[in-house]
């Protein structure tokens, strides 16, 4: 059964088919540095977003900038962007504007990030490995377009493309989730600990995705959270 699943994933990536599967205990491995490869994931917001939460895990030893989660519209290539600028420094973009976060460097281990934003208060929150950083003001009153192109492992400089290969991820990614609302602190910690999560627009256990380029799906080598 495991071999059949792997063949389905490989064929989906080669043929450009949008696959849907439960990726529990699996990871995307972005193999080349630099690269134009990415994973496109699909969700269909019914209306412009006034709130969101995005969570994911990444594992990389690269020191140059790279994009993790890129949600682009035709109006803005950085409607939502989680971008690691350098060791210990992340940027969260909403509608082309960004705030910066300085974080403890977690060398040779997984980083779990959760980013949330609420339009009414113009408030962005960033969690790293289950701990919140100070909240910051960002894009009060803004609406995020529902016409989305969502890519993992790249930073879109245009709708669905125009990549700089030196902003690509080389490493591993897992546990990607997106909600169209702001999670509570208890739910943020549950995401970090891989506990039961509320229903979401985009989830790792039923992810619809398409692989483009040299990205493979492999079993996780070890647990990303040590309790």
Q: Is the pLDDT confidence value at 16 over 60?
A: no
pLDDT tier at 116 (50, 70, 90 boundaries)? very high
Tokens of 52: 């969101």
Domains of the chain and any CATH numbers: 2-219 (2.60.120.200)
Query: Are 204 and 24 in contact, with CB atoms under 8 Å apart?
Result: yes
Q: Is the pLDDT confidence value at 13 over 70?
A: no
pLDDT tens-place string over residues 62-94: 999 999 999 999 989 999 999 999 989 999 999
How much is the pLDDT for 15? 41
The candidate with the shortest Cα–Cα distance to 43, out of 147, 141, 144, is 147
pTM of the full structure = 0.90
Tokens of 142: 């803004």
Tokens of 188: 């943020």
How much is the pLDDT for 201? 85
How much is the pLDDT for 224? 63
Query: Are 119 and 139 in contact, with CB atoms under 8 Å apart?
Result: yes
> How would you list the strands of the sheet with 80-86, edge to edge?
19-21, 207-212, 38-41, 149-152, 66-72, 80-86, 89-94, 97-102
């Amino acid at each position: 059964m495991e071999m059949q699943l792997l063949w389905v994933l490989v064929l989906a990536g080669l043929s450009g088919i949008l696959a849907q599967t439960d990726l529990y205990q699996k990871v995307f491995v972005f193999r080349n540095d630099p690269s134009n490869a990415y994973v496109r994931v699909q969700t269909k917001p019914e209306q412009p977003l006034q709130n969101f939460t995005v969570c994911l895990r990444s594992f990389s030893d690269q020191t140059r900038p790279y994009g993790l989660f890129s949600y682009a519209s035709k109006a803005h290539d950085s409607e939502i962007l989680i971008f690691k600028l350098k060791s210990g420094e992340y940027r969260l973009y909403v509608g082309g504007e960004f705030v910066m976060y300085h974080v403890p460097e977690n060398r040779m281990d997984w980083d779990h990030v959760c980013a949330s934003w609420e339009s009414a208060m113009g408030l962005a929150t960033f969690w790293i490995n289950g701990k919140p950083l100070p909240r910051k003001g960002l894009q009060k009153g803004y609406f995020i377009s529902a016409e989305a192109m969502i890519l993992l492992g790249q930073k879109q400089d245009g709708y669905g493309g125009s990549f700089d290969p030196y902003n690509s991820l080389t490493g591993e990614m897992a546990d990607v989730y997106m909600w169209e609302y702001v999670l509570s602190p208890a739910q943020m910690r549950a995401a970090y600990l891989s506990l039961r999560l509320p229903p979401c627009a985009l989830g790792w256990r039923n992810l619809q995705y398409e692989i483009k380029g040299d990205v493979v799906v492999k079993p996780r080598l070890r647990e990303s959270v040590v309790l």
